Structure 1
């Protein structure tokens, strides 16, 4: 309850006691007690005993009202915290996406304008530093704490976004192949190859946001070139073909 409510109760309580005492004085006069064949003290005791039940009922009602009010206030506070956490999270994620868009734009400019190996290497180091900064910000504990304050459905959505951003800003690794076409340990590319892999990684981030229908975040990358990872597209088509191959050959089957 608010402080003004307690002040009001504190002001009314003495008045109620004075009114009750005045009523007892009126009810327990000597004439009234004699008419009931009892003393004035017995009259007071009987009236107080009769009124104690009503007082207990009123006190219980006030207690229930206070508890219900506190429960309602707690729900309102929790709902407000959920909304505020979502707003703060969306604001931080928007900033991260804007920074990724800026790095993506720089990477496209490097990829399109320069073919000098030393220049590309210097620019690639710049992109790496920027991505490391974004990755650290995306992994901040404050963002995960904000998701923990949300509704479970909203928390799941925000964690997917956060995971996509962390993946897009993580260190690029490619698979190495030996002379026998056997894959070896992953390694971090350099120079021009790093820029190309990074652009594909950014584009895959946009693809994941599109699949999750995060239109506001996708709009941040509207000026970037769409470059789907061809290996990913081929793999998806291969899986689709394999899945439809197991289905019975029914001409009415829409697949």
Structure 2
């Protein structure tokens, strides 16, 4: 049988005013009814909140069981608790007068376009890129200072000339000296001879050595200041003889290139390959 709140209050008044209790009760029936009403509303609110919390937790993912305790009467109500990953946290319940936050839609993972990364790791030794053009050594610096001394001679003064031919070309030989089979002299520079030069000659071979006094250079660009590398590059087959390099000039002649201690050329003369005279 359902009773109204007024009926309940009247029954409580009659109960507490009964003389059989032996003493007047200090309890107020209105206070008891109001407290019961508050507990009933709190219970209903907690039941409603539990259902809404369960809905939010269901959307979030994990589901676990927890118990909501009523602080007033100790009654327990089953509810739900969200577990995120391996850790579980209790969801706080809203108190009287508070509102439940609106449900947020689940966040969709953003789609990102990933660009494949090019690996810089090498499976083996890195090979150098192929060269499109052959590597050339630096151009050799050629010497062009001074007069030209060729494989054949010095101007019109040539190897193999007899003494009379040499004097007819360069004028009388000065400081003429005969030692053994060799004659040594000094030819002046003329219109057909670039400069003064010492010569050595024999009756059988004619002029065998031409040694210009001034600065000269060869057609290959070797002259005073040329390095050992320059000489070897210009004349393959060059040999070393004391303080000079003997560089082949032709089938019958060679350049004798005197060098300083640092290997640079200081003077050049022309000689026949087969001769016994001194280098004057």
Q: TM-score, normalised by structure 2?
A: 0.21
Q: TM-score, normalised by structure 1?
A: 0.22
Indicate the structure whose relative CO is greater, using CA pairs within 8 Å and at least 6 residues apart: 1
